[in-house]
Amino acid sequence: MWSWLGPVLAASAALVWVVLLFRRDLLGSVLRWLTLATVVAVATGGGLLWLLGWPSLPPAERFTTADLLELLKIALAVVAGLGGVVLLAANLRRQRVTEAEHELAKARDDREREHSYNERFGAAAEQLAHESPAVKLAGLYAMAGLADVWESNRQVCVDVVCGYLRSLGSRPDGGEGQVWDAAMTAIRRKLRADGEWPNVSIDLSGVHFVDADFTGLATTGDVTLDGATFTGRRTSFEDCRFTGGFSVTEARFDSEFTTFESAVLGGGERATRANLEDVVFGGQRLSFDFARLASGTSFAYTRFASAFVSFRATAFTGEVSFEGTSFSPIYTSFHLARWEDGRTRFAEAEFSGEKLEFTETTVQNADLTFTDCLFSGVHVNFEDTLLRSRSLKFLQCEFEDCSLDFQLAHEHPTFGTIHLSHLDIERSTLRRCRIDFRRMRGPASARWEHTLARIRGGLFEEVEIVRDEDSVFSLFPWVRLAGVRLVNTVFPDELVRGLRFVEETVSANRSDGVSG
């Protein structure tokens, strides 16, 4: 009659057990661990019994006291194991609760700290907007100090400092000049690789600087100085590392000496570039010596008007543009400069002054190209320039009253270093110029048939060709002429021999002739 009671009670107990399993309190955690332990124990015991062939227990009368004691030990071990599971579950639960409380406390502290930072930010901003210079100075120090500790909004604090400097435009007189000095000092002190602001961006566009000193500054953020003006005795960006974006578009440098020596501009993890477009460099001296300019650097439409401009040992990487650039210094030097892995393009550039030197420069897997350029009254010197794998090209250029030294060297993988190699002059006009082809050398191999210089199209009028009288020419042809109009210009036969390699026959010694 009551046979159904057992299954009902069992089902009820199982339902209660399942409900308790899903509780999120300590009891639910203990029951879940007990269930897991029971399942593991049953599975383990069943596996052992299966491996032993499901042995049967002996009859009760055959159990001895020793057997009963062993069974009791096993039962106690099982109970102890379950107790350990309960203790483990309780400790784990307690640890999770402690961690959750810690996270809540941390979040609460973060909210309180953020609230405190916001209050400090508001107070510092109000002080910077105050009329009193003393109050502004306090606000400036408060804002800079807040930027040191408020990492999540450090950029906002720095933007406020930069915005204050932009609002002034230049260093004012009186007490507010001290605030300006404090702001610039904070930037110079903290904007360093080991400083408090290693990755912030600064925007000081349109600001007028006197004797600006950015020496040794470093940041992976953007540095923007568009439209800024620099005057005084010295403007220094020496040893700067601006590996984020660097821009001085439409800036003007009128200091007596402006230096970017050993600076690193552009590149970095974001592969940013240096933008020096529409810039005017005046003053007496401009130096980019030993600087490193990343791919994408542009000097487009920049005017170099300093008396002396030096790019000594400067490294140009990737694509570099000098489009529309004007060079009018007395002396412009690219001595020991390096162009690597890309192309440097001088397009529609103008060169005047007295000297333009590319001496002992290296062109490594790169092209150095001059297109639609105007050279006027300048001595252009490529003495000992080393070309590796690429060429030096002049396309549709005009030379007037110039002296050109093309004593180049080309490094060939088989024959080593040879001089005057891979020079291309196409559709260019030369008037009253002097071209120096001296020190033209190469390996003494009759099998070497390589054009050292190619001159195609254009006009040579009153051009003097200079060569070594006692040179032993072992290479041929030296110069390949095709479609060039020669007016009062004589190319020595030694320079253009081997005409069987020229597509168009050249009448090289006709003073009024047209080649081809």
Going residue by residue through the chain, which has 516 residues, state the pLDDT in tens, using 9 for 90 and above: 455 445 544 555 455 445 444 555 555 566 555 666 666 666 666 665 566 666 666 666 666 667 666 666 766 666 666 666 666 766 776 777 677 767 777 777 667 777 788 888 889 888 888 889 899 999 999 999 988 888 888 999 999 999 999 999 999 988 889 999 999 999 999 998 788 888 899 999 999 999 999 999 999 899 999 999 999 999 999 999 998 889 999 999 999 999 999 999 987 666 678 999 999 999 999 999 999 998 889 999 999 999 999 999 999 988 899 999 999 999 999 999 998 888 889 999 999 989 999 988 888 888 889 999 999 999 999 887 777 656 789 999 999 999 998 776 655 555 444 444 468 899 999 999 998 877 655 444 434 445 567 888 899 999 988 876 554 444 444 677 788 888 888 776 666 643 333 333 344 444 344 343
Q: Position of tokens 């049967």?
A: 56
Are 219 and 147 within one domain?
no
| Interacting residues of 357 by C-beta distance below 8 A, sequence separation 6+ | 331, 332, 333, 334, 335, 381
9 within domain boundaries: no
Is 345 in the same domain as 214? yes
pLDDT, position 514: 39
Q: What is the pLDDT of residue 195?
A: 80
Tokens of 460: 């040579």
Task: Judge whether 373 lies within some domain.
Answer: yes
Between CA 337 and CA 357 the distance in angstroms is 10
82 within some domain: yes
The pLDDT of residue 130: 87
- Look at residues 160, 181, 202 and tell me which one is the last residue of a structural domain: 181
Q: Which residues contact 51 (CB under 8 A, 6 or more apart)?
A: none
Alpha-carbon distance of 186 to 180, in angstroms, equals 10
Residue 157 domain flag: yes
User: Does one domain contain both 302 and 353?
Assistant: yes
What is the token pair recorded at 140? 């400036």
Domain shared by 193 and 96, yes or no:
no
- Asked if residues 473 and 498 have their Cβ atoms less than 8 Å apart, the reply is no
On the question of a cis peptide bond just before residue 477, with omega within 30 degrees of 0, the verdict is yes
pLDDT at 348: 95
Q: Which residue has the tokens 């252009």?
A: 380
Can you say whether residue 4 is alpha, beta or left, with left for phi > 0 and alpha for psi between -120 and 50 degrees? Answer: alpha
Amino acid at 333: S
Q: Which residue has the tokens 């790019």?
A: 311
Q: How far is CA 457 from the centre of its chain?
A: 41
Domain membership flag for residue 287: yes
User: In terms of domains, do 393 and 359 share one?
Assistant: yes
Domain boundary among 126, 161, 181: 181
pLDDT at 57: 62
Same domain? For 177 and 205 the reply is no
Last residue of a domain, one of 158, 181, 204: 181
Q: Are residues 147 and 281 in the same domain?
A: no
Q: Which residue has the tokens 């191999």?
A: 445
Give the pLDDT confidence score for residue 41 in this predicted structure: 62
165 and 210 share one domain: no
CA distance 394 to 380: 12
- CA nearest to 212, candidates 244, 191, 185, 175: 185
Same domain, 137 and 191: no
Per the structure, the complete domain to which residue 453 belongs is given by 182-442+449-504
Strands 416-419 and 409-412: antiparallel
Residues 270 and 131 in one domain: no
For 25, list phi and psi in degrees, rounded to 5: -100, -170
Residue 461 lies in a domain: yes
173 in a domain, yes or no?
A: yes
How far apart CA 101 and CA 107 sit, in angstroms, is 10
Contact criterion met (CB below 8 Å) for 341 and 318: yes
Angle value at C-alpha 467, between 461 and 470, nearest 5 degrees: 150
Domain count along the chain: 2
Same domain, 360 and 490: yes
Residues 263 and 341 in one domain: yes
Is the Cβ–Cβ distance between 215 and 239 less than 8 Å?
A: yes
The answer to whether residue 279 is domain-embedded is yes
